[in-house]
Amino acid sequence: MDKDGTVLSLSIQKTWDSIVCGKHFYKKKSLGGHMKRHPERPWRGLYPPPTSHHAPEACVVCGKRFDSKKALGGHMNQHPERSWRGLLRPTGEPAAARNGNTTVPLQIDLNQPAPEE
């Protein structure tokens, strides 16, 4: 009577786990809602930011690192002097080729909100 296939397909479904209390969720959205119950966690989002050596998104202009493309996208508004649109330099254009034009020094982003909540 048992249908083996059904059980198997359920067991391989990806789960989203609360890293705080270990609860499992089958939808990212569900975990997102659940994480509001852990306001004490020191990071934002579902999972803690990756540790130092690897940041998912980095600003190609000033090297600042961000947890998400969205955050980086907001930050890129502070580099209106860049000659391309979007987050990344167009491929095929060597960074060194632009050095002659680059007159804008690295800036500290004073307008950035403090990382602490």
Binding site for Zn ion (CB under 5 A): 18, 20-21, 23, 59, 61-62, 64
Q: Name the minimum Å distance from CB 93 to Zn ion.
A: 18
Say how many CA atoms lie within 13 Å of 66 toward its Cβ. Answer: 20
Residue 24 or 93 having the CB closest to Zn ion: 24
Name the one residue in this structure whose structure tokens are 């500290």: 108
Beta carbons of 57 and 72 less than 8 angstroms apart: yes
Residue 46 or 49 having the CB closest to Zn ion: 46
Q: Name the minimum Å distance from CB 41 to Zn ion.
A: 9
Tell me the two tokens of residue 37: 């119950």
